[in-house]
Amino acid sequence: MGFSGEVITDTKAFFEKECRLNCFSDWLGIVEADLGESYDSQVKRGAELTIRFEEGVIKRKLTILIKNEAQEGRVYKSYIRVIAPSKAGFSFVEMVSPRGKKEILPEVSKVGNYKEAGIYFEVGGGEIAYLTFAWEGENNLSFSSSGEYRLYWRKQAGIDSEPIRLEAVEPNNVHFRSDPPFNLTGNNTLGYNTKLLKDNWFRIYW
């Protein structure tokens, strides 16, 4: 992965190395493009990903915060894409802002070994918007024996850093361990906060 921000499409070799027996390798990336007058330096971002594990399926919900700190009248216009494995099934994107709440049907396309879902959005000067993407996919993990889930979170090129939060919801009667260590935040839920300064790996195992 170079400075141009391209996505390496050989995901099997790059993201699934040494992930074999009862192991699932997952990944995501966020790509955002400024389509209007450039207020990007005045836009603050953050993201929270919740992963819910069920027998035979993994469900993900990603909420992205976009805060436009420009003056009133300076609208931030952007097209944002969430990139996930090729078997991901995306649903409607929910956008919540001072202008109300709406559901947006994303443009979904498969490119190489990954799939992307994108929407166009606007955030007015001094406003905050929350964009929630949701997708799920099948897996062959067994929670009755030792296993592992790996997540590779790709940092967007051109952004210095952004705060992120990762939450993992345990299946019934399964207790997770993690690397880096997550904190117990509620019943069957582990959480981890960090700043995304570079591409990161997260590991959950049982």
Answer whether 51's CB lies under 8 Å from 165's CB.
no
- The pLDDT tens digits for 87-141 are 999 999 999 999 999 999 999 999 888 999 999 999 999 999 999 999 999 999 9
Q: Is residue 190 part of a domain?
A: yes
Q: Is residue 45 part of a domain?
A: yes
Give the structural domain span for 56: 11-205
pTM (2 d.p.):
0.90
Q: Is residue 3 part of a domain?
A: no
Spatial separation of the C-alpha atoms in residues 141 and 163, rounded to whole Å: 30
Mean pLDDT value across residues 175-189: 93
Residue 119 structure tokens: 């929407």
Mean pLDDT value across residues 62-84: 95
Strands 43-54 and 163-169: parallel
Answer whether 103's CB lies under 8 Å from 94's CB.
yes
Spatial separation of the C-alpha atoms in residues 180 and 202, rounded to whole Å: 7
The helix/strand/coil state of 41 is helix
Provide the pLDDT for residue 37: 73
- The pLDDT tens digits for 2-39 are 444 455 544 445 456 678 899 999 999 999 998 877 66
| Number of independent structural domains in the chain | 1
Provide the pLDDT for residue 39: 63
Spatial separation of the C-alpha atoms in residues 85 and 26, rounded to whole Å: 7
Which letter, b or e, does each residue of 100-110 get, where b requires 16 or more Cβ atoms within 10 Å of its Cβ? eeeeeebeeee
Spatial separation of the C-alpha atoms in residues 101 and 96, rounded to whole Å: 4
The residue among 48 and 111 whose pLDDT is bigger is: 48
CATH for 38: 2.60.40
Answer whether 61's CB lies under 8 Å from 47's CB.
no
Q: Is residue 143 part of a domain?
A: yes
Residue 143 structure tokens: 């929670």
Q: Is residue 162 part of a domain?
A: yes
Query: How much of the chain exceeds pLDDT 90, in percent?
Result: 74
